[in-house]
Every structure is written in structure tokens, then in C-alpha cells.
């Protein structure tokens, strides 16, 4: 985890993400993305992020949560597969999740995915924490940007700060506090089955529909108070897949090129396990 890139780039990111999301809405037609007049109670917004946590990630998650709130969504599912990333971006995401009046479900997926480093904190902060079969979580020890070594004093300060932060999150969500601290101090990592038995997560689910069926009727405490999840059979509204910026651990992070999208109709389960979903893929500008 390291310092956040320059804030001056955020207005451009907001504008670009707004254009992408608007374009995805126009292309989706009856696919159900975004706010609409027939948005019945029970719609669940699904966001997907695979890659390093960075300012684009934080902006993307914020937009998903904002759109879901405006649409009166029953919940938000954030499908996550990450090796970790920037501390400041991670904390922005956690602040948004904590303040959200809508239940946020962080789902580590697909099979073979992970929630490492900053991903552990984000998973712990969710109202519901879930994992797909064949995933893992852990190894949250902070590291210096660029892979360099910190001196002993700085290392202790950063480690203690990270440990205190994840312990406070664990206590708030009623999750395993000791394991959370060990993930930071000892870099422990566990499979999805071990995570469930250790009360690191709430459940294991094969896909998003199975996840929503399993959590239906559960009560969580959001930024607006207690909410009972009504998600079984909910209509899924998929957002664009967020771009993952290259070079996120290096000093040139503030100069990442933005990655445009190519909209495509797909019958795969890649976006949110729904055959009608509008999925968007990304390619670097050439």
C-alpha cells in the first residue's frame, strides 16, 4: 500500500467514467442497466473489478454505489479479484461502503481469484462478505511503493496503523479480529472454506444468483440503519467492468493512460452470471 496519485486527475476520471457509463446505458437498451422507470424493488447492481486497487477503482466503486442508491436498488454486489493496491484508494472505497445506505456485498470471484492486501480490508468492510469456490483471501502486510524496504521505525508505524484499522473494521462487522490482525502482521492467507470456518466471511456461493438467494432475509446495518435484504430472484443490473490501470505500483501511477471500452453482447457468465447482461471489455489505446 502506498500514497495516492495526484487528486487533480480525479475530475478527468469522473468525466470519463461518466461517459463510459452513459454509453453503456444507451447500448444496453432493455438489459436493465441504470435507473429506469420500471426499476422495481429488488434490483441489484453488480460491479466487477479485477486488478490493482487505485484511484480509478475508487471512482468506479463510488459511481456504482451512487447509481444504485439513486435507482433505489436493494443491494450492490462488488465482484472483486485483486492482489492489493494503494492504501488511500482502499480507504476511500471502505468509507463509501461504510456510509452506504444500501447493503454492499463484496464477492471474491471468479474461481482462481483472490482478495489480497488491500482486498482483505475491502472484503472485511462489506455488509456481507462472500467468496466463490477456489478463491483465497489474506496476506495483508503493508509494503512500500515500488517494492523498496522501509526503515524499522516507519515499518512499525505503518504495520501498527494497518493492524488497528483492520481490527476496527472486523469489530464493526463482527468478523474474526485475530485473523484480521494476523493477515496484516503475519501475512496469513486462507482458502474460501477456511475463511468460512474462521468467520472471516459469511458464505461461499457459486455465482451471483446463488449468492443473492442465500443472503435473502438477512439483516445488516448500513449507513442508514438496519436493512433486511430482499434479494432472492432479484433482477441484476450490471455495470461496465472497471479498467485496471497498468503500472499501479510505480511512481508514474499518476500518468496512467485511461483504458476505453468495447461494448459487446455476451451470453457468457463473465459479467454477473446472467445471460442477458451487457458485458464490456477493455483494451489499451494504441
Catalytic center residues: 117, 157
What span, in angstroms and rounded, lies between the C-alpha atoms of 257 and 144?
Answer: 23
Q: Which residues pair with 264 in a beta bridge?
A: 279
| DSSP 8-state symbol, 148 | P
Query: For residues 183 and 96, what is the distance between their CA atoms, to the nearest angstrom?
Result: 23
Residue 167 main-chain phi, psi, to 5 deg: -65, -40
CA distances 175 to 2, 92, 169, 230, Å, are 26, 21, 8, 23
Spell out a b/e string for 179-207, using b for 16 or more CB atoms within 10 Å of the CB, else e: bbbbbbeeebbbbbebbbeeebbbbbbeb
Amino acid at each position: 500500500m502506498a500514497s495516492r496519485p495526484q487528486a487533480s486527475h480525479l475530475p478527468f476520471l469522473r468525466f470519463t467514467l461518466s461517459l463510459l457509463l452513459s454509453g453503456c446505458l444507451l447500448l444496453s437498451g432493455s438489459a436493465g442497466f441504470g435507473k429506469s422507470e420500471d426499476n422495481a424493488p429488488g434490483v441489484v447492481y453488480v460491479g466487477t473489478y479485477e486488478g490493482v486497487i487505485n484511484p480509478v477503482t475508487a471512482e468506479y466503486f463510488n459511481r456504482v454505489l451512487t447509481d444504485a442508491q439513486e435507482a433505489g436498488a436493494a443491494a450492490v454486489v462488488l465482484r472483486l479479484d485483486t492482489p492489493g493496491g494503494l492504501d488511500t484508494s482502499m480507504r476511500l472505497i471502505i468509507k463509501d461502503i461504510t456510509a452506504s445506505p444500501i447493503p454492499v456485498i463484496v464477492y471474491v470471484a471468479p474461481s482462481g481469484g483472490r482478495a489480497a492486501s488491500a482486498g482483505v480490508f475491502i472484503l472485511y468492510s462489506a455488509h456481507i462478505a462472500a467468496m466463490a469456490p477456489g478463491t483465497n483471501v489474506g496476506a495483508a502486510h503493508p509494503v512500500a511503493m515500488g517494492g523498496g524496504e522501509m526503515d524499522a521505525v516507519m515499518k512499525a508505524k505503518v504495520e501498527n496503523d494497518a493492524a488497528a484499522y483492520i481490527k476496527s473494521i472486523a469489530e464493526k462487522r463482527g468478523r474474526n479480529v485475530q485473523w484480521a490482525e494476523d493477515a496484516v502482521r503475519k501475512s496469513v492467507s486462507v482458502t474460501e472454506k477456511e475463511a468460512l470456518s474462521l468467520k472471516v466471511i459469511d458464505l461461499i456461493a457459486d455465482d451471483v444468483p446463488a449468492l443473492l438467494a442465500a443472503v435473502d432475509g438477512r439483516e445488516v446495518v448500513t449507513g442508514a440503519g438496519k436493512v433486511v435484504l430482499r434479494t432472492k430472484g432479484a433482477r441484476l443490473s450490471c455495470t461496465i467492468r472497471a479498467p485496471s490501470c497498468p503500472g499501479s505500483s510505480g511512481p508514474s501511477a499518476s500518468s496512467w493512460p485511461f483504458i476505453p471500452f468495447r461494448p459487446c453482447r455476451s451470453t457468457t457468465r463473465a459479467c454477473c452470471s446472467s445471460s442477458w447482461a451487457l458485458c464490456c471489455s477493455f483494451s489499451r489505446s494504441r
